Amino acid sequence: MTEAVTAPLPVVILISGRGSNMQAIIEAVRRGELPLDIRAVISNRPQAAGLLRAKQAGIATVSIDHTLFKDRHAFDQALQTTIDRYQPGLVILAGFMRILSADFVAHYRGRMLNVHPSLLPDFPGLNTHQRALDAGCKVHGASVHFVTADMDGGPVVLQVRVPVYPQDTAASLAARVLTQEHRLYPLAIRWFAEGRLTVNDHGQALLDGAILKEPRQLPANTGEPAW
């Protein structure tokens, strides 16, 4: 019996900066571990270093400078129109530093993922690593979640935990978490691409048809889990 082949899922990746998570996704595709057709990388910052990375990988790139629009709604409309030209089955936020409007999020309901550098619901928003240190956390980490109108508030599907050491600074903790994000995000995206990860009519995340009552946990120091 031959193993079933998953057709590549068309995706668009949104970035604002260097695109390190985008690069991890690109490399996973190259290794044959992630069945994606990356149709475009879009940035709200024309000078984002990740655009050059994407071009070097042979991926179409688009910059839509948010500062040129009169308001958030106008930018989101332009962004949505551009994304939809590529007909993605999934929109991947990879360090996209914009708060998206409710209408935009609703348009991509159940097909937009984000990776956030904290163990949600702890520390939504910015400066998560310093906030974790200030709170005296012994464990920090990262989460992959479906995007909803609530900032970093959509259903969390997968997390990885990272120890916090007494000598940590925000920079050292961020670097350790980012390394794990590069393992975490491609795995969650692969679940979606394989049809294993979905959202039901009640806005709940499902893995293999079962409601995820709590996020799955990816061990930080071992290989990827068997589920």
Tokens of 125: 């928003």
For 191, how many CA atoms within 13 A lie in the half-sphere containing its CB? Answer: 24
How far from chain centre, in Å, is Cα 27?
15
Q: Is 116 a catalytic site residue?
A: yes
Task: Please list, in sequence order, all residues whose beta carbon lies within 8 angstroms of the beta carbon of residue 92, skipping any fewer than 6 positions away.
Answer: 11, 12, 13, 14, 22, 25, 112, 113, 189
Point out which residues pair with 74 in neighbouring strands: none
User: How many Å apart are CA 190 and CA 94, to the nearest integer?
Assistant: 15
CB 215 within 8 A of CB 157: yes
Among the listed residues 107, 116, 129, 145, the single catalytic one is: 116
- Kindly give, in sequence order, each residue whose CB lies less than 8 Å from that of residue 184, ignoring residues fewer than 6 positions away: 115, 142, 144, 158, 159, 160, 218
Report the amino acid identity of residue 165: Y
Report d(CA 105, CA 112) in Å as an integer. 8
Active site residues: 116
